[in-house]
Structure 1
Amino acid sequence: MISRVTQQTVQKSTLANLQLNLSRMSDLQGRLSGGKLITKPSDDPGGTASALQLRASQRAAEQVARNVDNGIGWLGTVDSALQTSLDSLRRARDLTVQGANGSMSAQARDAIAVEIEGIRSAMLSEANTSFLGRSVFAGTSNTGVAFAPDYTHQGAPGSSVERRISSDATVRVDVDGSAVYGQGPWDPVTATGSVFGLLDQIAADLRAGLPISDHIAHLDTRRDSMLGELGAVGSRYGRLETVQQGVQKTIMDLKGQVSAIEDIDLAETMVELQSQEVAYQAALGATARVLQPSLLDFLR
């Protein structure tokens, strides 16, 4: 059976095809101007789902990167404070050895005592070092300083500042100030207390003309504690640096995967748009011929 084709049928079909060509060209122009292959979920449901999953992973990796950067800042501050404190403690030990010489004059001993007190003040300042407004030797305490003027440790007992570096791992980024510097005034009977109190005791004994050679071993004990904490800080710092390098690579890889799904191939899209423009111009020509006859043409 032969279908009846009228002029109206041809016109409708031609206009529908013209509209389809125009829609395709509009889509290509939108992709080219926006640079995105997927402008709405219906463009590629599977690709949209994959892109959403990749973006979620990317956000998690970026959060880890921020945690690591913050942790490195904490540990870098701790490391600097410990290094400076160790230098001060070594100087204090040298002065104590010098002051243990029983033949020194009272004036010389007093001069050494003054310098030791200066070292004590400098070490106390280092012990109260903060990073972004938080004391690095006071755990989760918000007191602002790790040690009060009486050398009492202000940190929250048993607390620590952690930074998450993966879904199941964290790294400690602070140090227990009481473990590094001790706490409280120096007790000569039990030989316990803070390094600040110990330095005060050495200065007082120097002025009183008392022997101070026994204090050298106490300074060595506190130095060993500082060195142990410094080694632990260095280990954690190195771990964070390793994680930092890995997470930066992960972020770049994820960005590349998202781009491969969402972004257009510029050269390919331009060629496709040019081809579509040619097709649209041809469709316009065909439509002009179809729509050309009028009532006057038939009356002729």
Structure 2
Amino acid sequence: MRITEFMTDTTFRRQVREARGEMVKFNEQIATGKRVRKGSDDSVAFTSGKLFEDLIRRNEQFQRNADNGLFQARTVQDSLSRMEDLLSTMKARAIEAGNDTKSADERESLANQFESMRDELLNISSTKYNGLHVFSGTASDAPPFERDAGAAGGVATLSTDRPLKVMVGDASVINTTITGVELRDTRAGDMFEIIQNTIDALRANDGPQIRDSIENLDETVNHVVGLSTRIANNINRLEYTNQRLGDNIIDQKGEVSRLVDADIIDSMLNFKNAQTSYDAILSSQSRMMQTSLLDYLR
């Protein structure tokens, strides 16, 4: 008799403990929205969820890199567009000055305009984004050029020949800037030397030399247009990569949710069932205790 009562009591306590555990589990799912919070809940889902979460963090960093690269590359593109306008104006002024009806004074005035436009070109080349000079390559803490009478065209290069890059994937790196080295190196020669030669021809009132400079100035325009096209292509790549990363992150977050999130409706139903089972166990034990008491009184 004692053994039977002991076994009954042990079974009752185990059933109560299990029922309470189920109620706590489903109540936590309802409160947190998570079905899996630790490895013991579901080891496979927990491990897979952690792997996806790590992948999401990496892709979010790649996406931040792409965002930063886009702003940087668009800054370069805007600056190149302004340079193209200046160089096109220089070419137009050279065509105007090449006319033999121009006087020496008029050509001198145009030479002054060229110098002003060259200064503006240097000013644009010192453009910064987020504190970095975008035409200085990896030496981005300083401007790409400085005035130096002994250098080609009176302008010395401080830029490196390595553009800034952003990493947007495990094996994907995209250039976001143009270096000062690339900027001044045209097929017709050094950009600033071409400009200085035109200024010298204007001051010398040398019509043939001015006319010869027109083709070189035209090449500087084409050169900057080519650089702008290259940056535009990289901007397109960054935009595509950014969108792809965003789509991947959404899909990966959906997979994490599928693995570890709780279905709240199911959790509420399961909690109700666990509560019903708990109440039934208590009710059954109560009836058994009443029956045992009556037997004892008899």
Q: Which residue number in structure 2 is paired with residue 71 of structure 1?
A: 69
- Aligned mates of 1:145, 1:235 — CA distance in 2: 25
Give the secondary structure class of the aligned counterpart of 2:173.
strand
How far did 1:192 drift? 7.7
State the Cα deviation string for residues 261-289 of structure 1 (Å, max 9, x = none): 01001111111111212222222222333
Give the secondary structure class of the aligned counterpart of 1:170.
strand
Q: Which residue number in structure 2 is paired with residue 188 of structure 1?
A: none
- Aligned mates of 1:6, 1:50 — CA distance in 2: 46
- Aligned mates of 1:253, 1:175 — CA distance in 2: 35
- Aligned mates of 1:50, 1:275 — CA distance in 2: 29
Q: Which residue number in structure 1 is paired with residue 223 of structure 2?
A: 225
- Aligned mates of 2:7, 2:21 — CA distance in 1: 21
Q: Which residue number in structure 1 is paired with residue 96 of structure 2?
A: 98
In the alignment, structure 1 residue 249 sits paired with structure 2 residue 247: yes
State the percentage of identical aligned residues.
26
How far did 1:70 drift? 2.1
Q: Which residue number in structure 2 is paired with residue 270 of structure 1?
A: 268
- Aligned mates of 2:60, 2:293 — CA distance in 1: 69
Note if contact 2:188-2:219 (Cα within 8 Å) is conserved in structure 1: no
Amino acid across the alignment from 1:29:
N
Amino acid across the alignment from 1:146:
P
Unaligned runs of at least 5 residues, structure 2: 149-154
Amino acid across the alignment from 1:170:
V
In the alignment, structure 1 residue 153 sits paired with structure 2 residue 157: yes
What does 1:1-300 correspond to in 2, within 5 Å? 6-150=4-148, 151-157=155-161, 159-182=162-185, 194-211=190-207, 212-292=210-290, 298=296
State the Cα deviation string for residues 143-169 of structure 1 (Å, max 9, x = none): 421111232111124x23222233223
State the Cα deviation string for residues 53-86 of structure 1 (Å, max 9, x = none): 2122222222221222222122111111111100
Q: What is the RMSD computed on CA atoms of the aligned residues?
A: 2.6
Note if contact 1:86-1:223 (Cα within 8 Å) is conserved in structure 2: yes
How far did 1:107 drift? 4.3
TM-score by length of 2: 0.87
How far did 1:101 drift? 2.2
Structure 1 range deviating more: 105-114 or 83-92: 105-114
Note if contact 2:143-2:158 (Cα within 8 Å) is conserved in structure 1: yes
